[in-house]
Amino acid sequence: MLKECLKLISNKTVKSTRDIANRLGIDEKYANELIDKLVQMEYLSRDNGEFSCGGKCFGCNLANCPSNSIITFSLTDKGKKYLKNL
């Protein structure tokens, strides 16, 4: 399942964990678990969509750097290398 999951992400045929669940015929909870596992094994990286500008930036009066609250998972170099060798 983990390999299939990586392949789906690499083929760009899925856009969310729900898509993965649908494509693999598993429930979303399980798909999330697979993604967590792949993150833990460093095949995917988790991006919480937060960025820090290290304090006040010229021209920006926002009190805090905005967070877009959209979490994404991207293939890491390790993930790409693994898929390349498949």
Query: Which residues have CB under 8 Å from 14's CB, separation 6+?
Result: 8, 20, 23
Please, what's the b/e burial string for 35-59 (b: 16 or more CB within 10 A of its CB; e: otherwise)? beebeeeebbeeeeeeeeeeeeeee
Q: Which of 23, 24, 25, 58 binds other proteins (CB under 8 A)?
A: 58
Question: Rounded to the nearest whole angstrom, what is the least distance from the CB of residue 17 to other proteins in the complex?
Answer: 6
Question: Rounded to the nearest whole angstrom, what is the least distance from the CB of residue 83 to other proteins in the complex?
Answer: 9
55 binds other proteins (CB under 8 A): no
36 binds other proteins (CB under 8 A): yes
56 binds other proteins (CB under 8 A): no
